[in-house]
C-alpha cells in the first residue's frame, strides 16, 4: 500500500499487467478484463481476487481505478480536490 508521499509522486498512468504482459492505462480509462486472466494494476492484485464481481466472464471497472478499488477493498482514504 502506498503512503501519502508516494501517492503525490505517482505518475498519472496505471501500470496494468495481464498474464505477465505490461501496459499503461490512463487513470480514467475503462478497464475490461477476462475473468480467467491474472491481472494486477499498480501492483494490486485484481484477478483472480475480485473475480466474484465479474459478469458474463468479464470484470469491468467503469470508474477511476482507485475509486473502484477503494469501494471493493473497503480500506484506505480517498483524497478529493475541492
Q: Residue ranges of the domains in the chain?
A: 4-66
pTM: 0.76
Q: 12-21 burial string, b = 16+ CB within 10 Å, else e?
A: eebebbbeee
Q: Kindly tell me if the per-residue pLDDT of 5 is higher than 80.
A: no
pLDDT tens figures, 10-66: 567 999 999 999 999 998 899 999 999 999 999 999 999 999 999 999 999 999 998
| Predicted pLDDT of residue 80 | 63
**Which residues touch 58 (CB under 8 Å, ≥6 apart)?**
32, 33, 34, 35
* Residue 74: pLDDT over 90: no
**Residue with C-alpha cell 473502484?**
68
What is the enclosing helix (H) or strand (E) of 75?
none
Amino acid at each position: 500500500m502506498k503512503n501519502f508521499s508516494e501517492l503525490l509522486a505517482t505518475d498519472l498512468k496505471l501500470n496494468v499487467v495481464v498474464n505477465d504482459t505490461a501496459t499503461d492505462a490512463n487513470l480514467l480509462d475503462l478497464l475490461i478484463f477476462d475473468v480467467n486472466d491474472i491481472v494486477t494494476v499498480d501492483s494490486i492484485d485484481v484477478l483472480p481476487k475480485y473475480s466474484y464481481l465479474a459478469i458474463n466472464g468479464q470484470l469491468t471497472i467503469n470508474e477511476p481505478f482507485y475509486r473502484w478499488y477503494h469501494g471493493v477493498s473497503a480500506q484506505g482514504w480517498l483524497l478529493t480536490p475541492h
